[in-house]
A and B are shown apart, each in its own frame.
Chain A
């Protein structure tokens, strides 16, 4: 029997023990009603994993490795309950990080589906010793199980003792009798499992992670205060992602780090006049300096994530040519990652961050500026509505021959509108916002594909140019053929988006939509 197997039909549940109760005393009590059988004690190590976003935890699951097995469990009372799926995972194998590296198994598929682009982090580890006690009936049939569990955390060496009660299906009467005896002995359901206690002690309790946090804004909050609140929270979020970038756990850390910085820059440009001009410029420059060194790494991540999809668009014979390019990208990524690590750990980054943090916490002492005291809701609503009307005007002028550049510009406007709606979502009527955001997201979907196809064409051409300079004649022909084919496909894909964009635009700019946007900004909550 594998150690990770529990019976699906019975919910195990964990109980805490009073300090003065030991195993012998507990057994004595149970022997009043049952014959007992002690199984041989078992020891194992338990490593718990989840993504940075606590994806599995929030689904009510736990991923646990017990030395030889990796198992996905349902979570109950913050502890392991029933195993959903498990697979062999050798004791000596490296720490889990990328679920795509797991050998083929239904559990590996489940994890990939659950985690998407996210990698796994080790939450904490325990050494467990477990003493299983079986309660028997007069035919010496097992009717109830009790596991006495001693845990010792690997970091900090803290001790926890608990009991895992495991009733058997069809023996509910016996379970009730046993439970009565156990409760009388002082056992109590655990509301804070050892795992939760351990995570809290380490300062990493489960939490909700979102790039769209709530800022607790009030409609009449002075604009400078509101913007500072948002900037501070976004900077914290950005910094939470640093470790994941440094350790290269998954590509989402860098993505999120950059999104946070970009959103910060956006809000400063979009809510104008909350700081004196010179300060505004300095914040923008600082944010740009923090982000710019990461551009190339993010580009490479995007190409590599797209690798399979791009290869699939080409006929089999043209794929090897492109494979060389991806090999090049992988090598370049290694180099870029080292550079980004140096950048994040550099003295100048530390200086920039320290300045930003200081600036945001002391902004109230700065001299007043045009909008620093303006009530935030009125200020941003007017501006955001204006942005919508502008998009509507651009949309009205568009036609089949509109050059690509104008579509790109439209994309930027839409992005800014989206940021504003999301930043100040909590000030907007909660029933009216979602349909507007949905329509905007739909439009942005088409614009995004249009833009990606266009950027990819440019970078492919750049890559060809660079690689010709390196004179690798043997690889030139296959590479040029593959890239030529791919350029054609990407161009087709880009042009095909135009119709979709125009259709979405017509809807987004309709009289109906315009009226809805108007009421949205008239009725601040």
Chain B
């Protein structure tokens, strides 16, 4: 089971759009895929017309795994399931903090899913907390959308700094350009500069597109309702680029 996390310290950068379309692309590639919505805003599940998970109290490791499992919903696309988020996830960190090995709990929660799924995609909340650290430890690929602006560079720098402090393997971080505008000269220049500073940037660029923005109205992955567009195809390309390693 391969774990992909869509993560950014900053919100509004195309993180959920990536999680939703990446999960869809993985399923198209034949992976039994589970999308886990860890963001209390519940946007990922909303895009699949799936209602927030029933409320439940957070308990420790194995029990929690069973509860989460019961909340898994099959999407309209066979082979792609969704674990919807819950407002109670705000308390995830408090719970983790109470547990032993609080930095590695997520691993034991996800482990039993390996029999059912080839790929798990995590849509992560935009902050830097104990839950984030758990995610960093468990994700095989930490996909970080970066809008080509100076502010994004700073948050990327912060992420690498955090990895260094916590002695986490930095090669798990896979930044890529998100919501990029070809016609915007600043974007172009900034992308060129960032690629020089961070050669690890993925080749694929997700462009800014109104078609992707429409996901909120359509409530379906953009790859489903507009499969032929360059903007949505970019998600498929990104997926293959990561899978190729």
Contact = CB atoms under 8 A, between A and B. Distances in A.
A5 B79 contact: yes
B72 A170 contact: yes
Interface stretch (B46-54, B127-135, B185-193): B46-54
Given A5-B78, A8-B32, A141 B48 contact: yes
B32 to A, nearest CB: 6
Contacts of B50: 139, 141
Contacts of B76: 134, 141-142
Q: Which of A1, A9, A10, A170 has the most CB of B within 10 A?
A: A170
A171 B49 CA distance: 13
Interface string A116-143: 0000000000000000001000011110
B116 A168 contact: no
Contact of A171 (B73, B77, B79, B219): B73
Contacts of A9: 74, 81, 116
Interface in A7-48: 7-10
Given A139-B51, A141-B49, A171 B74 contact: yes
B204 interface: no
A170 B74 CA distance: 6
- Kindly state the interface size class of chain A when it binds its partner: 10 to 19
Interface in A441-498: none
Contacts of A134: 76
Nearest to B46: A139
Contacts of B49: 139-141
Nearest to B77: A1
B181 interface: no
A134 B32 CA distance: 21
A6 interface: yes
B71 interface: yes
Contact of A169 (B48, B72, B219): B72
A7 B116 contact: no
A441 B81 CA distance: 51
A252 B76 CA distance: 46
Nearest to A8: B32
A333 B50 CA distance: 63
Contact of A1 (B51, B73, B74, B78): B78
Nearest to A145: B78
Contact of B71 (A8, A10, A141, A170): A170
A142 B76 CA distance: 6
A149 B19 CA distance: 36
Nearest to A7: B78
Given A139-B51, A140-B49, A141-B48, A8 B74 contact: no
Given A7-B74, A141-B49, A171-B73, 19 more contacts: A1-B77, A1-B78, A5-B79, A7-B78, A7-B79, A9-B74, A9-B81, A10-B74, A139-B49, A139-B50, A140-B49, A141-B76, A142-B76, A169-B73, A169-B74, A170-B72, A170-B74, A170-B81, A171-B74
Interface of B: 32, 48-51, 71-74, 76-79, 81, 116, 219
The 6 A-B residue pairs with the shortest CB-CB distance, nearest first, are A170-B73, A141-B49, A168-B74, A169-B74, A7-B78, A139-B49
13 contacts: A6-B78, A7-B74, A7-B79, A8-B116, A9-B74, A9-B116, A139-B49, A168-B74, A169-B81, A170-B71, A170-B72, A170-B74, A170-B81
